[in-house]
Amino acid sequence: MKLAHALPFAALASAWVIDGRHQSEHPVRDMANAMARFTSTMAGNPNLFIDEIVAATGELHVRLKAGVETLKSSGLNGPEHVANLLWLGQKLGPFGRSMHESVVGQKETVERNGYCYIMEHAVDAVQTDFYSFGDYMGGAVPQHEKAAAASYAEGILTILNDAKAQFTKDHCTNASPPSA
């Protein structure tokens, strides 16, 4: 991977971890805010530069990952926590469709700049974060809510799997790893 390609992710990750915001007391709200920020950056904006597309996706990944890690270490529980998890879970399907539309809608820009491989892996990172959230949510909710939690997680994972596939070598030119 070229250094220039890795910088947006590295800068976001270090800035996020260094300033300590990953220790939020409201990880579910923080994750919802990260999703909203991504949507406001990407939705309906066909004139984004490639660095903006990659940075928005990288920032989403970093913030989601931090939120999931905080949830896992927080010890939060109780009816309010379950309600918050299910509230966010209900937002996953609409967000997944919006993210799919946004990143696939930018495919021409991604292809033209030779970022297919990077975008495939950026979407994969976000998909992994939602998998981790779904796993956490499934373990945190009561038995009678587990089917709903699983449905929310499976829905976004399927949607993002299709988005990720649009950037593979079968569907996107320049989908090989960048040379050093």
What letter represents residue 93's amino acid? G
Q: Which of 43-52, 55-64, 100-109 has the highest mean pLDDT?
A: 55-64
Q: What pLDDT does residue 63 have?
A: 97
Question: Model's pTM, two decimal places?
Answer: 0.84
User: Tell me: the pLDDT tens digits for 117-131?
Assistant: 999 999 999 999 999
Give the per-residue pLDDT at 28: 96
Residue 15 is which amino acid? A
Q: Domain residues of the chain, as ranges?
A: 3-165
Mean pLDDT estimate for the chain: 86
44 pLDDT higher than 90: no
Residue 10 pLDDT more than 70?
A: no
Please tell me the predicted confidence (pLDDT) of residue 173.
Answer: 80
Q: According to the model, what pLDDT value does residue 158 have?
A: 97
Percent of the chain residues topping a pLDDT of 70: 84
Between residues 46 and 136, the one the model is more confident about: 136
Residue 178 pLDDT class (50, 70, 90 cuts):
low
* pLDDT of amino acid 45: 80
Give CA–CA dist 81/91, Å, rounded. Answer: 16
Q: Which of 17, 103, 102, 18 is nearest to 67 (CA)?
A: 17
